[in-house]
Amino acid sequence: MLSEILKKETEPMIEAIYSDAFIQGLIRGDIDDAAVAHYLRADSLYLDEFAKLYALLISKTESKETVRFLMGQMAFLMDGESEAHEVLAHAINRSYADIIKDGEWYPSADHYIKHMYFNAFTREHIAYAISAMAPCPYVYRRIADMALARHTFETDHPYRKWFEFYVNDMDDTINVMFDIMDDAARSMTEKEIDVLKKNYIESTEHERRFFNMAATKEEWTGVGTHA
């Protein structure tokens, strides 16, 4: 099955994300406050757009069940995963609203969201956009699994609840997305399935870049050329 192939194929990339500076910094609890703030400024904008992507997909499906799923996801995202984000803001002793008021599209986040929009706007079948979106919940779920399985977090660990959020709340989303992709793949050509695979693998890499963006506090470098 396509979803099983993709999960296997991207596991080394997920291990790499886990070993990178951002997740290891959260696990140790000594991540740079500025990296956490950078992540939140990007992720708050990212999740707003992710919610709007679900709205776009409503016109691509005949299935009421899928419409219901998309609406549920939008409602969930309208809160911007506020619980998880509040944990991060609290850990760096700042108010979440204050951190995100100057949100920005740093290059890696910008590239990632446009990958999704490209698939939503230029390809009719819902599975193309979904294949670019599925690594979003899946990568976080796996990273949270790994962290909680490999580490004992003290009750007062500043980031424990961030990992716990993603271990508990993502499974329904992941399963529905993989079902949509697997169903689509059954009636697609080999070439079309290859596009789904490429989308999915690229998005897994985008997830890695997003965390590294925050760890390195990535910025556009064209001095004075942007607002």
Ligand X SMILES: Cc1ncc(CO)c(N)n1
Q: Does 136 bind ligand X (CB under 6 A)?
A: yes
Least gap, CB of 211 to ligand X (angstroms): 8
Which one from 136, 192, 205, 219 is the annotated catalytic residue?
136
Q: Binding residue for ligand X (CB under 6 A) from 3, 143, 207, 214?
A: 207
Of 163, 126, 145, 136, nearest to 47 (Cα)?
Answer: 136
Is residue 140 within the footprint of ligand X (CB under 6 A)?
yes
Q: From residue 44 to residue 83, what is the string marking binding to ligand X with x (rule CB under 6 A)? A: --xx---------------------------------x--
Report which residue type is found at 100.
I
Residue 178 and residue 76: Cα distance in Å, rounded?
19
Question: Contacting ligand X (CB under 6 A), which of 105, 159, 162, 210?
Answer: 210
43 or 100: CB nearest ligand X:
43
Site string for ligand X, 24-43 (x = CB under 6 A): -------------------x
18 touches ligand X by CB under 6 A: no
Residues in contact with ligand X by CB under 6 A are 43, 46-47, 81, 136-137, 140, 207, 210
Catalytic residues: 136, 207
